[in-house]
């Protein structure tokens, strides 16, 4: 099986993320958002653990399979799922994943791409009959090409 560090690579399973979507995680609060009464002390973000990240992936994967079963288009469900997880990692954990990139922040694109790979792998085991065959083939090709050496 691929390790998460190996899977954080530029990869596309038919998912087209625009620059605007990658920037979603860096959106400033809207002008209608009231300012806090007192500034909260700044806290240093810590990397998300592999276990917590996998929990998010599992929950979002179940939701994505449910959406696909309800005939939501694959690109729509996949894009929404990837964006959900990536935004949590970027906003709540400072774009850091335990054991990846020396626990240093990653670019939004790298977080989105890694999330896309991890989610695709999870979905391929959870609801393969709901994923378009071409997408499954792309994933299998990617896994073969990036299989860690033993």
What are the pLDDT digits (tens) for 133-144? Answer: 999 999 999 989
Instruction: Tell me if 121 is assigned to some domain.
Output: yes
- Please say whether the beta carbons of 96 and 55 come within 8 A: no
Instruction: Tell me if 129 is assigned to some domain.
Output: yes
Longest Cα separation, the chain: 56
Cβ-based neighbours of 75, under 8 Å, separated by 6 or more: 14, 15, 16
**Mind listing the pLDDT tens digit of every residue in the chain (150 residues)?**
334 444 433 444 444 444 444 444 444 444 444 555 555 455 688 999 999 999 999 999 999 999 999 999 999 999 999 999 999 999 999 999 999 999 999 999 999 999 999 999 999 999 999 999 999 999 999 989 988 765
Instruction: Tell me if 94 is assigned to some domain.
Output: yes
Instruction: Tell me if 134 is assigned to some domain.
Output: yes
DSSP bridge partners of 97: 48
Domain that holds residue 100: 44-150
The pLDDT score that the predictor gives to residue 51 is 98
| Radius of gyration of the chain, Cα coordinates, nearest whole angstrom | 16
Instruction: Tell me if 36 is assigned to some domain.
Output: no
Instruction: Tell me if 32 is assigned to some domain.
Output: no
Count of the separate structural domains present in the chain = 1
Instruction: Tell me if 11 is assigned to some domain.
Output: no
Q: What is the pTM of this model?
A: 0.73
Instruction: Tell me if 39 is assigned to some domain.
Output: no
């Amino acid at each position: 099986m691929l390790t998460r560090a190996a899977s954080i690579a530029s990869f596309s399973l038919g998912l087209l993320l625009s620059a605007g979507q990658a920037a979603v995680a860096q959106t400033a609060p809207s002008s209608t958002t009231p300012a806090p009464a007192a500034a909260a002390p700044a806290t240093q973000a810590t990397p998300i653990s592999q276990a917590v990240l996998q929990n998010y992936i599992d929950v979002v994967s179940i939701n994505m399979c449910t959406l696909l079963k309800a005939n939501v288009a694959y690109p729509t469900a996949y894009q929404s799922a990837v964006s959900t997880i990536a935004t949590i990692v970027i906003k709540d954990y400072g774009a850091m994943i335990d054991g990846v990139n020396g626990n240093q922040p990653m670019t939004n694109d790298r977080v989105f791409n890694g999330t896309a790979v991890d989610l695709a792998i999870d979905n391929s085991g959870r609801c393969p009959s709901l994923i378009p065959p071409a997408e499954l083939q792309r994933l299998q090709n990617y896994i073969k090409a990036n299989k860690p050496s033993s």
